[in-house]
Structure 1
C-alpha cells in the first residue's frame, strides 16, 4: 500500500510540474519556444519512463495503469492550452508573472525532489529486499544508473 501511495504522490508532483512547463511552452515564442520544446520532449521522455516504471511496479490492474498513462500524457498539453489562452495577456517580464512562475516552479520542484528522494529512492534502496539480495556489482550498477539518470535530467532541465 505504501508503494502505491508513493507512486500516486510522485504522479501528482509530475502532473503539477508538467502543467507548469506546458504553460511556459504555451506562452513562449520564437527561439525560446524551439528551445523549450526540444528540452520538454527529452525531459518528458525520461520523466515518462520514471512514471511508467513506478506505476508498473506498484499497480497490477490494467485499468489503473491506463489511467496513469492517460493522466501523464494529458498534463503537458493541458498546460500548453492554458498557456496559449493566457498568452495574449501574459508578460513574461512582469513582476507578477515572475512571482507566479517562481512559486509554481518551486512547488513543482519541491514535490518532485521530495517524492524522488523520500518516497522512491528510499523505498528502492533501503527497504526493498530485492535490492539487498543483489551482488555488490548489481547494487553498484543500480547506483550508477541513478546518478546517470539524475545527471541526464539536470542537463535537460537546464533548458526546460
Structure 2
C-alpha cells in the first residue's frame, strides 16, 4: 500500500514539473516574440521575478517528494533551460514577420494568454488544491481564514504589479 502512495506522489510531482516546464517555455516564447521595447522591459523583469519564485516553489515540491539526487538535478536542469529555450524559439518565430504587423500582436497575445492560462491551472489545480484539501486546514477555521486572506492578498498584489507590466 505505501508503494501506491509513493508512486501517486511521484506522478503528481512529475505532472507538476511538466506543466511548469511547458509554462516556462511558453512564457519564454512570449518574451522572445516581443519586438517592442515597451513590452520587452516589463517582461524581462516579470520573468526574472516569476522564474525565481516558481523555482523556489518547484524546489519545495521536489524536496517534499523525496526524489533521488540524480532526478532532482535533472529536474532542476530542465527548469533552468526552459525559459532560455523558449526565448530562442520566440526570437526565431518573430523573425518570420514584421514587428508592425497585426500578426505580431496576435502571436504575442496567443502566447501570453497560453502562458497565463497554464499558470492559473497549475497553481489552482496542482498546488493550491492539495493544500486546501489538507485535513489540518479543513478542521481549523482560523487557519482557513488566514490562508484565504493570504491567497487574496497575494492575488491582489500580483494584480497591482500588472499596472507596471
TM-score, normalised to structure 1, is 0.74
Q: Which moved more, 1:88-97 or 1:53-62?
A: 88-97
The equivalent of 1:19 in structure 2 is: 25
For residues 22-65 of structure 1, give each alpha carbon's deviation from its aligned partner in whole angstroms, at most 9, with x where no partner exists: 12322334343222211211122222222222222223312222
In the superposition, relative to structure 1, how do residues 67 and 143 fare at CA in structure 2: closer, same or farther (>3 Å)? farther
- Please provide the CA RMSD for this pair: 2.9
In the superposition, relative to structure 1, how do residues 86 and 7 fare at CA in structure 2: closer, same or farther (>3 Å)? same
SS in 2 for 1:91: coil
**1:76-95 correspondence to structure 2 within 5 Å:** 76-92=83-99, 94-95=101-102
Give the count of matched residue pairs. Answer: 158
Q: Which moved more, 1:17-26 or 1:150-159?
A: 150-159
TM-score, normalised to structure 2, is 0.72
In the superposition, relative to structure 1, how do residues 151 and 71 fare at CA in structure 2: closer, same or farther (>3 Å)? farther
Deviation of residue 76 (structure 1)?
0.7
Structure 2 unaligned regions, length at least 5:
1-6
- The structure with the largest alpha-carbon Rg is 2
SS in 1 for 2:95: coil
Q: Which is bigger in relative contact order (C-alpha 8 A, separation at least 6)?
A: 1
SS in 2 for 1:124: helix
Structure 1 unaligned regions, length at least 5:
none
Report the Cα distance in structure 1 between the residues aligned to 2:126 and 2:86, rounded to whole angstroms. 26
Report the Cα distance in structure 1 between the residues aligned to 2:82 and 2:30, rounded to whole angstroms. 13
The equivalent of 2:151 in structure 1 is: 146
